[in-house]
A = this chain, B = another copy of it.
Amino acid sequence: MKTITSIEEMKKWSRLALSNNKSIGFVATMGCLHEGHLSLIKTSTEECDNTVVSIFVNQTQFSPEEDFDSYPRNIKSDKLILQTAGVDIMFNPNQKDFYPEEFQSFVTVEKKTNYLCGVSRPRFFRGVTTVILKLFNIIKPNTAYFGEKDWQQLQVVRTMVRDLNMDVSIVGKPIVRDKDGLAMSSRNLNLSKSERRTALKLTQALEIVQTLVTKGESSAVNIRAKIQETIEKKQGAKIDYISVCDPENFKEQTEIHSRVLVALAVRIGTTRLIDNRIIEKN
């Protein structure tokens, strides 16, 4: 595996691979890799001739009061993991090359970012779409793999790619959970033992919802109330949002007719966690 930090070198490498008719799979991460990332990487190495993984922690998607500085980083371990996983390129550009002083161009997706994480993190999606478009332009992947834990992000990226006529296939992969059920996230590293026990209420709430709907519950109001009750049983969990919404446009539902996204964002101490589950009514 090769580590590339220069944007120009990354461009050159990609264009050479493509001119040799080698396909490129890409996984955008912010490093501190876990099993969730590895599931995306595994699919990429199986499906594509080459796999590029970026571990760039993207400042523009954090608001000033957010956790950019405390976001977990571990390049040495990331490198070892990517080597073992059969990745071809670890791409780790530095912030100043990626966002030079005079940087001033942004990509925004409008409607789909007015809900869920777009409300509580006003800069988030603009930062995500901008960094992803830049990475796509540099790396030129044929296929890019995203985790469904960030369900809204996945839909926003799909929308950008469709609207802006970009040449890349976007593939979403299911949430990977730890043994105790907690959705894999780099931010889990910031949880204390007791906070982790609190965090498990997210998983539990989503499981309860699945059971309720299977048993015939179809009121979104009741479902939201049940989630709130489950999470607030534990002290130290502060709900950011509980949403029972359309999985594509994120509009809140009152009744579950067919397929909904149940999405949660909860602060546990200083750590904000998200989780979700697609629930289908029989």
Contact of A103 with B165 in the complex, beta carbons under 8 Å: no
Q: Identify the interface centre among A112, A129, A137: most chain B CB within 10 Å of its CB.
A: A137
Closest CB-CB distance, A139 to chain B, in whole Å?
10
Q: How far is the CA of A29 from the CA of B108 in the complex (A)?
A: 25
Interface presence of A75 (CB below 8 A): no
Closest CB-CB distance, A53 to chain B, in whole Å?
18
A108: which B residues are within 8 A, CB to CB?
105-106, 108
A110: which B residues are within 8 A, CB to CB?
104-106
Which of the residues B104, B105, B138, B159 comes within 8 Å of A105, measured between beta carbons? Answer: B159
Closest to A137 in B: B165
Q: How far is the CA of A165 from the CA of B131 in the complex (A)?
A: 11
A165: which B residues are within 8 A, CB to CB?
7, 11, 134, 137-138
Closest CB-CB distance, A142 to chain B, in whole Å?
12
Contact with B along A123-160 (1 / 0, CB 8 A): 00000011001100110000000000000000000011
Interface size class of A (residues with CB under 8 A): 20 to 34
Interface presence of A65 (CB below 8 A): no
Contact of A137 with B103 in the complex, beta carbons under 8 Å: no
Closest CB-CB distance, A15 to chain B, in whole Å?
8
Closest CB-CB distance, A74 to chain B, in whole Å?
27
Q: How far is the CA of A189 from the CA of B111 in the complex (A)?
A: 38
Interface presence of A225 (CB below 8 A): no
6 A-B interface contacts by CB (under 8 A): A7-B165, A104-B112, A104-B163, A105-B129, A105-B163, A134-B165
Give 17 A-B pairs besides A7-B165, A11-B165 with Cβ atoms closer than 8 angstroms: A11-B167, A102-B111, A102-B159, A104-B112, A104-B163, A105-B108, A105-B109, A105-B129, A105-B159, A105-B163, A105-B164, A106-B107, A106-B108, A108-B108, A134-B165, A137-B165, A137-B166
Nearest 4 interchain pairs by C-beta: A105-B163, A104-B110, A137-B165, A104-B111
